[in-house]
Structure 1
Amino acid sequence: MLKFFSLPAVLAAISGAAMAVQGTLNSQLTQKTSLLSSTLIVHIIGSLIALLAVLAWKVPMFGHKWLQIPWYLYLGGALSVGIVALVAITISRIGVCNATTAIILGQVGLAVIIDHFGLFGVQRISWNPWQLLGLALFVGGAKLLFK
Protein backbone atom coordinates (compact mmCIF):
# COMPACT_ATOMS: atom_id res chain seq x y z
CA MET A 1 0.00 0.00 0.00
CA LEU A 2 2.93 2.32 0.63
CA LYS A 3 3.97 2.12 -3.05
CA PHE A 4 0.56 3.53 -3.95
CA PHE A 5 1.30 6.73 -1.99
CA SER A 6 5.02 6.91 -2.76
CA LEU A 7 6.55 9.95 -4.43
CA PRO A 8 6.94 8.15 -7.79
CA ALA A 9 3.27 7.12 -7.70
CA VAL A 10 2.15 10.66 -6.84
CA LEU A 11 4.33 12.08 -9.61
CA ALA A 12 2.85 9.55 -12.04
CA ALA A 13 -0.67 10.63 -11.01
CA ILE A 14 0.29 14.27 -11.59
CA SER A 15 1.63 13.23 -15.00
CA GLY A 16 -1.68 11.55 -15.77
CA ALA A 17 -3.59 14.68 -14.79
CA ALA A 18 -1.29 16.75 -17.00
CA MET A 19 -2.00 14.34 -19.88
CA ALA A 20 -5.74 14.96 -19.53
CA VAL A 21 -5.15 18.72 -19.71
CA GLN A 22 -2.67 18.31 -22.58
CA GLY A 23 -5.09 16.20 -24.57
CA THR A 24 -7.87 18.71 -24.05
CA LEU A 25 -5.68 21.64 -25.11
CA ASN A 26 -4.37 19.76 -28.15
CA SER A 27 -7.89 18.81 -29.17
CA GLN A 28 -9.03 22.43 -28.96
CA LEU A 29 -5.97 23.61 -30.90
CA THR A 30 -6.69 21.02 -33.59
CA GLN A 31 -10.27 22.24 -33.92
CA LYS A 32 -9.01 25.79 -34.47
CA THR A 33 -6.26 24.79 -36.94
CA SER A 34 -5.73 21.32 -38.39
CA LEU A 35 -4.56 17.99 -37.03
CA LEU A 36 -1.13 17.90 -38.65
CA SER A 37 -0.29 21.57 -38.17
CA SER A 38 -1.31 21.54 -34.51
CA THR A 39 0.66 18.33 -33.92
CA LEU A 40 3.73 19.92 -35.52
CA ILE A 41 3.43 23.14 -33.50
CA VAL A 42 2.95 21.25 -30.23
CA HIS A 43 6.11 19.21 -30.90
CA ILE A 44 8.13 22.27 -31.95
CA ILE A 45 7.17 24.02 -28.71
CA GLY A 46 7.98 20.89 -26.69
CA SER A 47 11.34 20.53 -28.45
CA LEU A 48 12.24 24.14 -27.74
CA ILE A 49 11.36 23.75 -24.06
CA ALA A 50 13.42 20.55 -23.87
CA LEU A 51 16.34 22.34 -25.54
CA LEU A 52 16.11 25.21 -23.07
CA ALA A 53 16.05 22.74 -20.17
CA VAL A 54 19.13 20.92 -21.52
CA LEU A 55 20.96 24.24 -21.85
CA ALA A 56 19.79 25.59 -18.47
CA TRP A 57 20.81 22.45 -16.56
CA LYS A 58 23.95 22.01 -18.68
CA VAL A 59 23.09 18.42 -19.50
CA PRO A 60 25.92 16.87 -21.53
CA MET A 61 24.63 15.74 -24.93
CA PHE A 62 27.81 14.61 -26.63
CA GLY A 63 29.18 12.17 -24.08
CA HIS A 64 26.62 9.51 -24.95
CA LYS A 65 27.21 6.74 -27.47
CA TRP A 66 24.06 7.53 -29.45
CA LEU A 67 24.86 5.20 -32.34
CA GLN A 68 25.28 2.21 -30.04
CA ILE A 69 21.78 2.52 -28.60
CA PRO A 70 19.23 0.07 -30.10
CA TRP A 71 17.30 1.79 -32.90
CA TYR A 72 13.87 0.96 -31.46
CA LEU A 73 14.56 3.05 -28.36
CA TYR A 74 14.26 6.14 -30.56
CA LEU A 75 10.69 5.31 -31.60
CA GLY A 76 9.29 7.29 -28.67
CA GLY A 77 9.45 10.44 -30.77
CA ALA A 78 7.46 8.85 -33.58
CA LEU A 79 4.98 7.42 -31.09
CA SER A 80 4.61 10.84 -29.52
CA VAL A 81 3.45 12.33 -32.82
CA GLY A 82 0.88 9.57 -33.21
CA ILE A 83 -0.27 9.86 -29.60
CA VAL A 84 -0.80 13.62 -29.79
CA ALA A 85 -2.72 13.28 -33.04
CA LEU A 86 -4.89 10.38 -31.86
CA VAL A 87 -5.71 12.05 -28.55
CA ALA A 88 -6.67 15.28 -30.32
CA ILE A 89 -9.00 13.34 -32.62
CA THR A 90 -10.61 11.16 -29.97
CA ILE A 91 -11.26 13.84 -27.36
CA SER A 92 -13.17 15.96 -29.85
CA ARG A 93 -15.29 12.93 -30.84
CA ILE A 94 -15.97 11.06 -27.60
CA GLY A 95 -15.10 13.58 -24.86
CA VAL A 96 -12.27 13.94 -22.37
CA CYS A 97 -13.53 11.32 -19.88
CA ASN A 98 -14.22 8.61 -22.46
CA ALA A 99 -10.98 9.23 -24.34
CA THR A 100 -8.89 9.35 -21.16
CA THR A 101 -10.54 6.18 -19.86
CA ALA A 102 -9.72 4.36 -23.10
CA ILE A 103 -6.17 5.75 -23.07
CA ILE A 104 -5.54 4.58 -19.50
CA LEU A 105 -7.08 1.18 -20.24
CA GLY A 106 -4.72 0.79 -23.21
CA GLN A 107 -1.76 1.96 -21.13
CA VAL A 108 -2.42 -0.36 -18.21
CA GLY A 109 -3.22 -3.35 -20.42
CA LEU A 110 -0.02 -3.03 -22.41
CA ALA A 111 2.00 -2.10 -19.32
CA VAL A 112 1.09 -5.42 -17.69
CA ILE A 113 2.29 -7.24 -20.82
CA ILE A 114 5.51 -5.19 -21.05
CA ASP A 115 6.30 -5.86 -17.37
CA HIS A 116 5.42 -9.56 -17.58
CA PHE A 117 7.67 -10.25 -20.56
CA GLY A 118 10.34 -7.65 -19.72
CA LEU A 119 9.95 -6.06 -23.14
CA PHE A 120 12.24 -3.25 -24.35
CA GLY A 121 14.82 -4.09 -21.69
CA VAL A 122 12.71 -3.29 -18.61
CA GLN A 123 12.92 -5.39 -15.48
CA ARG A 124 10.66 -8.44 -15.79
CA ILE A 125 7.81 -8.34 -13.28
CA SER A 126 5.54 -11.34 -13.72
CA TRP A 127 1.84 -10.77 -13.49
CA ASN A 128 -0.08 -12.46 -10.74
CA PRO A 129 -3.75 -13.38 -10.30
CA TRP A 130 -4.42 -10.21 -8.30
CA GLN A 131 -3.12 -8.02 -11.12
CA LEU A 132 -5.26 -9.87 -13.63
CA LEU A 133 -8.28 -9.46 -11.35
CA GLY A 134 -7.44 -5.78 -10.97
CA LEU A 135 -7.23 -5.43 -14.74
CA ALA A 136 -10.60 -7.15 -15.14
CA LEU A 137 -12.16 -4.85 -12.52
CA PHE A 138 -10.54 -1.89 -14.26
CA VAL A 139 -12.16 -2.92 -17.53
CA GLY A 140 -15.50 -3.14 -15.72
CA GLY A 141 -14.97 0.29 -14.16
CA ALA A 142 -14.02 1.72 -17.54
CA LYS A 143 -17.28 0.38 -18.96
CA LEU A 144 -19.16 2.26 -16.23
CA LEU A 145 -17.30 5.50 -17.04
CA PHE A 146 -18.14 5.40 -20.75
CA LYS A 147 -21.18 7.52 -21.53
Structure 2
Amino acid sequence: MKLFPLNSTGTIDTVLENSKRGIEVSEEAAIVKILDRGRVSTRPTIVKACSKNSQELTHEDLNKIATLCKNSVSSKILITHGTDTMVETAKFLADHNFDKTILLTGAFRPETFKDTDADFNVGFALGVLHCLATRDVYIAMNGGLFHWSNVSHDVGQNYFV
Protein backbone atom coordinates (compact mmCIF):
# COMPACT_ATOMS: atom_id res chain seq x y z
CA MET A 1 0.00 0.00 0.00
CA LYS A 2 1.28 3.42 -0.89
CA LEU A 3 0.31 5.84 1.84
CA PHE A 4 0.19 9.58 1.43
CA PRO A 5 -0.23 11.20 4.86
CA LEU A 6 -1.45 14.74 4.46
CA ASN A 7 -1.41 17.02 7.45
CA SER A 8 -3.87 19.90 7.58
CA THR A 9 -3.53 20.74 11.25
CA GLY A 10 -6.23 21.01 13.89
CA THR A 11 -6.30 20.16 17.58
CA ILE A 12 -4.03 17.15 17.00
CA ASP A 13 -1.14 19.53 16.16
CA THR A 14 -1.85 22.06 18.90
CA VAL A 15 0.83 22.44 21.55
CA LEU A 16 -0.82 25.10 23.68
CA GLU A 17 -4.27 26.55 24.05
CA ASN A 18 -4.25 29.84 25.87
CA SER A 19 -7.11 32.30 25.85
CA LYS A 20 -4.69 35.24 25.76
CA ARG A 21 -2.32 33.87 23.12
CA GLY A 22 -4.74 31.76 21.10
CA ILE A 23 -3.74 28.42 19.67
CA GLU A 24 -0.13 27.52 18.95
CA VAL A 25 0.56 24.91 16.30
CA SER A 26 3.57 22.62 16.55
CA GLU A 27 6.26 23.01 13.90
CA GLU A 28 6.47 19.22 13.59
CA ALA A 29 3.30 17.42 12.51
CA ALA A 30 1.85 15.32 15.32
CA ILE A 31 1.58 12.32 13.02
CA VAL A 32 5.40 12.17 12.81
CA LYS A 33 5.67 11.78 16.60
CA ILE A 34 2.77 9.32 16.68
CA LEU A 35 4.36 7.12 14.00
CA ASP A 36 7.66 7.22 15.92
CA ARG A 37 6.00 6.15 19.20
CA GLY A 38 4.07 3.44 17.37
CA ARG A 39 7.28 2.11 15.86
CA VAL A 40 5.73 2.16 12.40
CA SER A 41 8.35 0.56 10.17
CA THR A 42 7.31 2.01 6.84
CA ARG A 43 7.89 5.74 7.09
CA PRO A 44 5.99 7.73 4.51
CA THR A 45 6.88 11.32 3.77
CA ILE A 46 4.43 13.68 5.45
CA VAL A 47 3.03 16.46 3.30
CA LYS A 48 1.86 19.52 5.21
CA ALA A 49 -1.05 21.21 3.48
CA CYS A 50 -1.54 24.09 5.90
CA SER A 51 -0.97 25.18 9.48
CA LYS A 52 -4.14 26.61 10.89
CA ASN A 53 -7.17 25.83 12.98
CA SER A 54 -9.66 23.85 10.89
CA GLN A 55 -12.32 26.50 11.52
CA GLU A 56 -10.09 28.93 9.61
CA LEU A 57 -9.79 26.76 6.48
CA THR A 58 -10.67 28.70 3.37
CA HIS A 59 -11.95 27.48 0.02
CA GLU A 60 -8.40 28.00 -1.22
CA ASP A 61 -7.07 25.68 1.53
CA LEU A 62 -9.65 23.02 0.64
CA ASN A 63 -8.70 23.28 -3.02
CA LYS A 64 -5.03 22.85 -2.06
CA ILE A 65 -5.87 19.70 -0.08
CA ALA A 66 -7.94 18.38 -3.00
CA THR A 67 -5.12 19.11 -5.46
CA LEU A 68 -2.57 17.34 -3.25
CA CYS A 69 -4.88 14.31 -3.07
CA LYS A 70 -5.49 14.32 -6.81
CA ASN A 71 -1.80 14.64 -7.68
CA SER A 72 -0.63 12.01 -5.21
CA VAL A 73 0.64 8.77 -6.74
CA SER A 74 -0.73 7.00 -3.67
CA SER A 75 -4.04 5.19 -3.88
CA LYS A 76 -4.62 5.56 -0.12
CA ILE A 77 -4.42 8.89 1.66
CA LEU A 78 -4.56 9.62 5.38
CA ILE A 79 -5.37 13.20 6.37
CA THR A 80 -5.02 14.51 9.90
CA HIS A 81 -7.58 17.23 10.31
CA GLY A 82 -9.30 19.35 12.91
CA THR A 83 -12.50 17.84 14.26
CA ASP A 84 -14.60 20.99 13.91
CA THR A 85 -14.73 20.92 10.11
CA MET A 86 -13.67 17.35 9.33
CA VAL A 87 -17.11 16.36 8.04
CA GLU A 88 -17.24 19.36 5.70
CA THR A 89 -13.78 18.61 4.30
CA ALA A 90 -14.71 14.95 3.78
CA LYS A 91 -17.79 16.04 1.80
CA PHE A 92 -15.71 18.53 -0.20
CA LEU A 93 -13.22 15.81 -1.14
CA ALA A 94 -15.99 13.33 -1.97
CA ASP A 95 -17.53 15.87 -4.36
CA HIS A 96 -14.28 15.73 -6.36
CA ASN A 97 -14.78 12.00 -6.99
CA PHE A 98 -11.13 10.92 -6.76
CA ASP A 99 -10.34 7.31 -7.59
CA LYS A 100 -8.59 6.92 -4.23
CA THR A 101 -9.30 5.90 -0.67
CA ILE A 102 -9.15 8.99 1.52
CA LEU A 103 -9.43 8.73 5.29
CA LEU A 104 -9.58 11.69 7.67
CA THR A 105 -8.77 11.47 11.36
CA GLY A 106 -7.80 13.82 14.14
CA ALA A 107 -8.05 14.29 17.89
CA PHE A 108 -10.18 16.05 20.46
CA ARG A 109 -7.12 16.55 22.67
CA PRO A 110 -3.73 17.71 21.34
CA GLU A 111 -1.06 15.07 20.69
CA THR A 112 1.12 16.75 23.32
CA PHE A 113 -1.43 16.17 26.11
CA LYS A 114 -1.07 13.14 28.37
CA ASP A 115 -4.72 12.15 27.92
CA THR A 116 -4.77 12.61 24.14
CA ASP A 117 -6.84 10.47 21.81
CA ALA A 118 -4.44 11.24 18.94
CA ASP A 119 -2.34 8.07 19.13
CA PHE A 120 -5.40 5.83 19.21
CA ASN A 121 -7.17 7.64 16.38
CA VAL A 122 -4.12 7.67 14.08
CA GLY A 123 -3.30 4.03 14.83
CA PHE A 124 -6.90 2.98 14.25
CA ALA A 125 -7.04 5.01 11.03
CA LEU A 126 -3.83 3.41 9.71
CA GLY A 127 -5.14 -0.08 10.44
CA VAL A 128 -8.48 0.64 8.81
CA LEU A 129 -6.86 2.26 5.79
CA HIS A 130 -4.83 -0.89 5.16
CA CYS A 131 -8.07 -2.91 5.05
CA LEU A 132 -10.34 -0.58 3.06
CA ALA A 133 -10.84 -1.81 -0.48
CA THR A 134 -13.51 0.66 -1.61
CA ARG A 135 -12.20 3.90 -3.04
CA ASP A 136 -14.14 6.65 -1.33
CA VAL A 137 -13.86 9.18 1.50
CA TYR A 138 -14.12 8.12 5.15
CA ILE A 139 -13.63 9.42 8.67
CA ALA A 140 -12.03 7.31 11.42
CA MET A 141 -12.66 8.68 14.91
CA ASN A 142 -13.47 7.28 18.36
CA GLY A 143 -12.90 3.70 17.18
CA GLY A 144 -15.52 4.08 14.46
CA LEU A 145 -15.28 4.12 10.69
CA PHE A 146 -17.75 6.41 8.95
CA HIS A 147 -18.57 7.01 5.31
CA TRP A 148 -18.47 10.72 4.47
CA SER A 149 -22.20 10.72 3.69
CA ASN A 150 -23.23 9.11 6.97
CA VAL A 151 -21.38 10.92 9.76
CA SER A 152 -21.88 13.85 12.05
CA HIS A 153 -19.88 15.46 14.82
CA ASP A 154 -21.75 15.53 18.14
CA VAL A 155 -20.12 18.67 19.51
CA GLY A 156 -21.75 18.32 22.94
CA GLN A 157 -20.35 14.84 23.51
CA ASN A 158 -17.19 15.23 21.37
CA TYR A 159 -17.91 12.09 19.39
CA PHE A 160 -18.45 11.26 15.76
CA VAL A 161 -21.64 9.31 15.11
Q: Same fold (TM over 0.5)?
A: no
Q: TM-score, normalised by structure 1?
A: 0.28
Q: Which has the larger radius of gyration?
A: 1
Higher helix share goes to which structure?
1
Q: TM-score, normalised by structure 2?
A: 0.26
Higher strand share goes to which structure?
2
